[in-house]
């Protein structure tokens, strides 16, 4: 989907550059908009939202932007996994697993 960081390995340095922007630009735009909604004020509580907000907090100057792109990529992987496996989506699956392990 073009949502992974471009790499430029040279000797000892391994900087992460901008996203690759490969493949379908319309799909990438839709995923980014969905991620912005999930992380915005009207997004429902879910494991994906909690993960994205935690990532945005530690970010710095461009933390929110990086969190949106990372959430969009994670959303694409989640949607593909659900499509392939045919499972039902559980928004708070990880939280339930943590509660069950603690009990």
Residue ranges of the domains in the chain? 5-102
Say how far apart CA 75 and CA 61 lie, in whole Å. Answer: 23
Q: What is the pLDDT of residues 87-100, one digit of tens each?
A: 888 888 777 776 67
Say how far apart CA 4 and CA 20 lie, in whole Å. Answer: 6
User: Are 4 and 70 in contact, with CB atoms under 8 Å apart?
Assistant: no
Worst-scoring range by mean pLDDT, 15-19, 33-37, 57-61, 88-92?
15-19
Please determine, for residue 22, whether its predicted confidence score (pLDDT) is greater than 80.
no
Q: What is the DSSP letter of 66?
A: H
Q: What's the chain's average pLDDT?
A: 80
Q: What is the pLDDT of residues 58-89, one digit of tens each?
A: 877 888 888 888 899 889 888 888 989 998 88
**Strand, coil or helix: what is 11?**
coil
């Amino acid at each position: 989907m073009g949502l992974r960081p471009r790499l430029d390995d040279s000797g000892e340095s391994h900087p992460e550059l901008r996203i690759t922007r490969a493949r379908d630009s319309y799909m990438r735009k839709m995923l980014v908009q969905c991620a912005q909604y999930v992380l915005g004020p009207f997004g429902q509580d879910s494991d994906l939202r909690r993960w994205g907000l935690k990532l945005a907090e530690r970010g710095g100057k461009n933390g929110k932007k990086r969190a949106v792109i990372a959430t969009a990529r994670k959303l694409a992987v989640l949607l593909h996994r659900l499509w392939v496996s045919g499972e039902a989506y559980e928004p708070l699956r990880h939280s339930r697993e943590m509660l069950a392990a603690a009990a």
